[in-house]
């Protein structure tokens, strides 16, 4: 049977780095508070010429280069984003153009911080159905655009960036490739984390609002059951996992899930300290970093998980 293998990895971070101390000049907060509660010490924020499309395109170019795949062999681009530059055309369609893909299709997926897991699962379904042979899956986010910079409870948590992977159809993958993805959503918890309004609704602020404590409570339990489900479906156990690559929201959520898995932090990829929460971009950003610095190697079993606004959550299990 055809499987999707991860053939390439790429990412892009805005040039401008904003430290906790810089935020503390404008907000009633401190470097110590932010580090202790979240593990975040800095974040990247877009500047001139940097936006959801440009970051996605740069990350995708790097991933294609890594995979040694020409843009002409790309069948589809799927972008996970909650912060597109425009309502339409979709970010993915603009990215197809920037990459020079002439015979492809593309669309965006909005599942907040779970967007990359949703996009990966969607791309895998296209590949296994025989509808595409090569799909670029991207998370690209400009959360700086939807933050209320006067709200210390949310402004300190997020950053901008993009990450990408190239998924390729492989008939002889053996045990390599995407093993399973699991997706969940519960609209009854929609008011715990949301953006207030949309384009053309001037009576709303357009800012992200969050009940931090409630999200935290849901995160550890839902993410733990989601990784249990992934391993059980694959007939694997915690000890088989080489690397956990979690969505990077908060070091305490990450540690909570690792503890439930009995996985030492040495086997967890952490970028939240330097990137903060980049929503749908955080997992592919972390993957790219750990593959390129040699931590994640071919043959490793990698478990990814995410939870975000919706609430949406899910997991993906892959053998590289
Ligand atoms: N600096 C200083 N003080 C602050 C700050 C800040 N940046 N933000 C909040 N506080 C204050 C609050 O006002 C409150 O003060 P009070 O007691 O006088 O009212 C106090 O700190 C405690 O606030 P809590 O919200 O109860 O703090 P908590 O320990 O829960 O930490 C946090 C807040 C970090 C947001 C935590 O709830 C959390 O990590 N939640 C998870 C949410 C998350 O990560 N969301 C990301 C998006 S969802 C996702 O990607 C999974």
In which residue are the tokens 């110590």 written?
32
Q: How far apart are CA 156 and CA 230, in angstroms?
A: 32
Q: What atom in ligand 1 is closest to the CA of residue 153? A: 8
Per-residue pLDDT reduced to its tens digit, 183-212: 999 999 999 999 999 888 999 999 999 999
Say which of 44, 218, 247, 275 is annotated catalytic. 247
Specify the pLDDT at position 198: 84
pTM value?
0.97
Q: How far apart are CA 63 and CA 285, in angstroms?
A: 11
What is the interface pTM, i.e. ipTM, of the complex?
Answer: 0.92
Q: How far apart are CA 209 and CA 211, in angstroms?
A: 7
Say which of 20, 44, 113, 275 is annotated catalytic. 113
Q: How far apart are CA 303 and CA 246, in angstroms?
A: 8
Q: Which of 190, 250, 314 to mutate to test the pocket of ligand 1 (most atoms within 8 A of CB)?
A: 250
Residue 162 scores a pLDDT above 90: yes
Is 103 known to be catalytic? no
Q: Helix, strand, coil % (nearest 5) of the chain?
A: 40, 25, 35
Residue 261 scores a pLDDT above 90: no
Specify the pLDDT at position 115: 98
């Amino acid at each position: 049977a055809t499987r999707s293998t991860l053939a390439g990895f790429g990412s892009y971070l805005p040039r401008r780095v904003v430290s906790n101390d810089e935020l503390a000049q404008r907000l009633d907060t401190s470097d110590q508070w932010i580090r202790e509660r979240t593990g975040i010490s800095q974040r990247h924020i877009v500047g001139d010429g940097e936006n959801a499309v440009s970051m996605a395109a740069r990350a995708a170019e790097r991933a294609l280069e890594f995979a040694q795949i020409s843009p002409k062999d790309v069948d589809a681009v799927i972008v996970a984003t909650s912060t597109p530059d425009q309502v339409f055309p979709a970010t993915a369609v603009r990215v197809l153009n920037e990459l020079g893909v002439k015979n492809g299709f593309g669309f965006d997926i909005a599942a907040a911080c779970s967007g990359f897991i949703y996009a990966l699962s969607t791309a895998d379904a296209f590949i296994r159905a025989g509808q595409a042979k090569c799909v670029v899956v991207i998370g690209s986010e400009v959360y700086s655009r939807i933050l209320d910079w006067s709200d210390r409870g949310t402004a300190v948590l997020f950053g901008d960036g993009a990450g990408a992977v190239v998924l390729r159809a492989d008939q002889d993958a053996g045990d390599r490739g995407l093993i399973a993805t699991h997706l969940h959503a519960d609209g009854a918890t929609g008011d715990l984390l949301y953006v207030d309004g949309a384009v053309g609704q001037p009576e709303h602020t357009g800012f992200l609002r969050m009940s931090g404590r409630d999200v935290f409570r849901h995160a550890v339990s839902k993410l733990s059951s989601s990784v249990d489900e992934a391993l059980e479906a694959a007939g694997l156990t915690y000890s088989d996992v080489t690397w956990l690559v979690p969505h990077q929201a908060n070091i305490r959520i990450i540690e909570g899930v690792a503890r439930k898995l009995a996985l030492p932090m040495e086997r967890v990829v952490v970028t939240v300290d330097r990137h903060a929460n980049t929503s749908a971009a955080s997992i592919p950003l972390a993957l790219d970093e750990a593959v390129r610095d040699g931590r994640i190697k071919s043959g490793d079993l990698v478990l990814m998980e995410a939870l975000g606004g919706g609430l949406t959550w899910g997991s993906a299990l892959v053998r590289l």
